Amino acid sequence: MDGVLDTLGINPGLMLIWGIAFIVLYTVLTRFIYDPLTNVLNERRNRIAKGLEDAAAAARARENAEAEAENILAQARGEAQKVIDEARGRGEDVAGTIEGEARQEAARIQYDAQNEAVAIRNTELGNLRDQVLNISVAVASRILEENISKTKQKALVNSFITDLPEGAKGIGGGVEVVSAMPLTAVEQKRITSEVGADEAEFSVDPSILGGLIVRWAGGMVDGSVRSQLNELTRSLN
Amino acid sequence: MDPQSTIILGKAIGAGLAMIGAAGGGIGIGLAVGGAVQAMGRNPDHTPTIQTNMILGVAFAEAVAIYALVVSLIILFVLS
Amino acid sequence: MNSFWNGKRRFVALLMFLAGVFVALEVPPVIPFIQLPGEKFPEGFDIPLTGIRWTNTMVGSVIVWVVLLLFVVYVARRRPKDGNEVPPGGFYYLFEVLFEGLMGFVGGIAGGRHFRVIFNMFMTIFLVVLMANWMELVPGVDTIGFIHPHVKEKYDAQKDEYKLVTTDGYEIYQGFLGISYVNGQCDWISPAAEAAADEAAIVAASAAAAAAERTLTQDAAYARYQAEHKGHGDDATGEGGGGHGDDAHGEEPLESNTVSLASAEVLAARVAEKQARLDRGCHTGVATAPWQDGYEPYDKSKAKGISLHPDPSSEEAKLVPWVVLPFVRVPSTDLNMTLTIALISFVMIQYIGFKALGIGYLTKFFNFGTLFKSPLGGIDVAVGLLELIGDFAKILSFSFRLLGNIFAGSILLFVMSFLIPILPWPFFILEFFVGVIQALVFALLTAIFMNLATISHHHDDDHDHDEAH
């Protein structure tokens, strides 16, 4: 055993020295480093913890203040909104009124203008039509005057006699007959008998263009071309 | 071959053979650390506990290798 | 970091590199003699108040203690006096960061009632072992030391006397600044071994001559005739540069040219071998061969006169092998330190167990309480006894784990420094971390076992323990 210890280099004396040294080191390290340093570190840790707590409290206070500020801000914002809304409402009213008035005015102006334009157009159109009518009637009269021959006249007189309206039958009394061309005696007799008149006065008026006009005390039958032309003119109007 | 050389030869062979035992310790440490690392990867929250137990296990596994080392040292330096 | 190496500081690294090259060339690296126990200092170096010789591991231990005490003074002066003070910075910061980090670490493992004791123990072991482990990184540790003849006194039981035994070692030489160095290039060869090698060469030469003679046929006579006429001149040239080994040694009867050439070749090889050693600057074993001029036969009586500590500059120094006996060796490579700390750790584990659980702590080992109550009582007894054995095995594993790691580490460092004298840095970085890890493992295992000892096996006590948290 001794040999084993020797060859492994184990020496109880040296081990004892080492043990004492270790214990001394343990004591010194504990006394001068571990204990004080642990205390310092704990103190520092507590201080940091306390600092953190304070910071947390400050943070809480700040949060409260912030919340309050937020409230005030929200209130102010609400009021401002209200004011703005009111203002906007009022503005909208005014604007609506103005707009309505303007629109009415515009409508009125438009209406007036339209009316005026229609009137002007109507007048213009009327003028135009009158002119056209006069021209057309003139043209027609010219054409008719020239074209209604004797035979045509006779046909017209005959058709007047055959198609004599009911009102002109059996009149009695005196009758005035106007024709565009002088009537023959036969024709005069026929007309007198057909009308049933006692007396007949015959006159010629070329301006009636053709046909006959029978007038009596109670009325007249107009079978002239002129009256038909006038009717045409009226219907064009 | 003279007797001194034979003794040295025998010591060297013996010490070398004794250190084969260290392989077991190596395998054990490898398994322990591998398992511990896997466990730590799965739940890192338990790392301190796993680490402590791993070091314990590694120490026990290493002890076997150390016995081999002791035997080897005794063969080399104590036997004569 | 980058700015630190800018400018002039870069030259510091270059200078260190060049110094490394110079030292490697001027002083050939030596593998120190490897032995497990701390090397004892020469006679006359005793530890005061004890009769124990200094060992270089004890010197390392003293350095560790002194460094730690200086460290205590430094920290005690620098540390903040209360929690309001801001730490002063510098190196102290590093320590405080380490201290606080380890405090949290141990608190996570053993943060119970006994945290302070466990942590103090943990930290002390950590610092002591760390300082000791890191010593292997200091230049000069393991390399600078006494030049020491590697001669042992051995007791011969048969003759009842002590005799000097010389073993392996290197040659010694005076080098740079007149300092003595051991020469890593030259293994020491004992004069006896040298004489034996010479004799072996002669035997081989005569064997070669005999072989050559056997091959001689009829022209042997002619050869002899020629040899007689030409005389000894050929013999001299056949030995190639060696001395004129002619008449002093009659064992070569110049029978023929061929025979003498065959034996001369063997002898010339032997002489060339010696010359090569001489060219390397080695001295031992290069005495002239028996067939050369100036040969002094090996005098056995001279060997008996070797003292244990010859003067390195004397002629006698060449007769013994020399090794470097480092002034300082890493204390962790000595069982005295590791075993002591392991024992203290063991004692503390038991102490804190008794402190926490009282006499009930013993039931952990001698668990007879359930022997007659439970069918598994016997197993409990066996487990308890196993724990007892395991606790003692802890001493062994603690001490040999540290010893094995650091011993292997320092051997790695100086072998690597021997093989690559200029660039062993990666291994130094490796050993730096190994030192930290081993210190941490030692301290941490102590803390864990101490914590385990405070925890009772019984469930009612477990409850109590939980409250302590």
A25: nearest CB among C37, C51, C68? C68
Domains in chain B, please, with CATH? 14-78 (1.20.20.10)
**Residue B37 in this model has a pLDDT that exceeds 90:** yes
ipTM of this complex: 0.75
Residues of A in contact with C40 (CB under 8 A): none
Domain regions of chain C by residue span: 32-142+329-468, 191-326
Tens-digit pLDDT profile for residues C161-206: 666 666 677 777 666 666 777 776 777 777 777 777 888 888 888 8
What whole-number distance in Å separates Cα of residue A177 and Cα of residue A170?
Answer: 15
Q: Please give the backbone phi and psi of residue A177, each rounded to the nearest 5 degrees, phi first.
A: -120, 125
Domain regions of chain A by residue span: 1-147, 149-236
Name the residue among C54, C44, C35 with its Cα closest to residue C150.
C35
Tens-digit pLDDT profile for residues C426-451: 888 889 988 998 999 999 999 999 99
- Give residue ranges of A with CB < 8 Å to any C CB: 6-11, 13-15, 17-19, 21-23, 25-26, 28-30, 32-34, 36-38, 40-47
Per-residue pLDDT band at C252 (split at 50, 70, 90): very low
β-pair partners for C182: C172
Q: What is the DSSP letter of C332?
A: G
Tens-digit pLDDT profile for residues C75-113: 988 888 877 777 777 888 889 899 999 998 898 888 888
The SS3 of residue C147 is strand
Six-digit token pair at C325? 């006996």
Tens-digit pLDDT profile for residues C382-410: 888 888 898 888 898 899 889 988 988 88
What is the CB-side half-sphere exposure of residue C120 using CA atoms within 13 A?
Answer: 22
Using only the alpha carbons of chain B, give its radius of gyration.
19
> Can you name the CATH fold of A149-236?
hypothetical protein PF0899 fold (3.30.2320)
Distance from CA of C81 to the nearest CA of A (A): 7
Per-residue pLDDT band at C302 (split at 50, 70, 90): low
β-pair partners for C404: none
Per-residue pLDDT band at C254 (split at 50, 70, 90): very low
Q: What angle do CA B23, B26, B29 make, to 5 degrees?
A: 150
Tens-digit pLDDT profile for residues C310-334: 666 666 676 777 777 888 999 999 8
Cα dihedral C277, C279, C280, C281 sign:
positive
The counts of H helices and E strands in chain B are 3, 0
Q: Please give the backbone phi and psi of residue C53, each rounded to the nearest 5 degrees, phi first.
A: -70, 145
Name the residue among C148, C147, C149 with its Cα closest to residue C27.
C147
Within 10 angstroms of residue C154's Cβ, the number of other Cβ atoms is: 11
- State percent of chain B over pLDDT 70: 95
Distance from CA of C115 to the nearest CA of B (A): 16
- Of B4, B40, B62, which to mutate for an interface test with C (greatest number of C Cβ within 10 Å)? B62
Residues of A in contact with B73 (CB under 8 A): 8
pLDDT at C246: 44
What whole-number distance in Å separates Cα of residue A177 and Cα of residue A174?
Answer: 10
Q: Which residues contact C103 (CB under 8 A, 6 or more apart)?
A: A38, A41, C119
- Please give the average per-residue pLDDT across B40-61, as a whole number: 86
Question: Quick one: closest CA in A to C86, which residue?
Answer: A44
Per-residue pLDDT band at C469 (split at 50, 70, 90): very low
More confident residue, C114 or A180: C114
Q: Please give the backbone phi and psi of residue C138, each rounded to the nearest 5 degrees, phi first.
A: -75, 130
Q: Taking every pair of C-alpha atoms in chain C, what is the biggest distance, in angstroms?
A: 113
User: Burial, B66: exposed, middle or buried (Cβ in 10 Å; 0-12, 13-18, 19+)?
Assistant: buried
Per-residue pLDDT band at C230 (split at 50, 70, 90): low
- State percent of chain C over pLDDT 90: 17
pLDDT at C459: 47
pLDDT at C463: 43
Question: Is the Cβ–Cβ distance between B29 and B62 less than 8 Å?
Answer: yes
Six-digit token pair at C422? 């200029």
Distance from CA of A60 to the nearest CA of C (A): 25
User: Burial, A184: exposed, middle or buried (Cβ in 10 Å; 0-12, 13-18, 19+)?
Assistant: exposed
pLDDT at C243: 41
- Please give the average per-residue pLDDT across B47-70, as a whole number: 82
Q: Which residue bears the tokens 């004396």? A: A13
- Please give the average per-residue pLDDT across C37-63, as a whole number: 84
Size (chain C), residues: 469
Q: Return the amino acid letter for A16.
A: L
More confident residue, C146 or C399: C399
- C30-39, C209-218, C251-260: range with lowest mean pLDDT: C251-260
Using only the alpha carbons of chain C, give its radius of gyration.
34
More confident residue, C315 or C242: C315
C448 touches chain B (CB under 8 A): yes
What whole-number distance in Å separates Cα of residue C40 and Cα of residue A91?
Answer: 111
Average confidence score pLDDT of chain C? 77
3-state secondary structure C162-182: EEEEECCCEEEEECHHHCEEE
Q: Return the amino acid letter for C143.
A: T
Cα–Cα distances in angstroms (integers) from residue A189 to residues A184, C194, C459, in the given order: 9, 200, 162
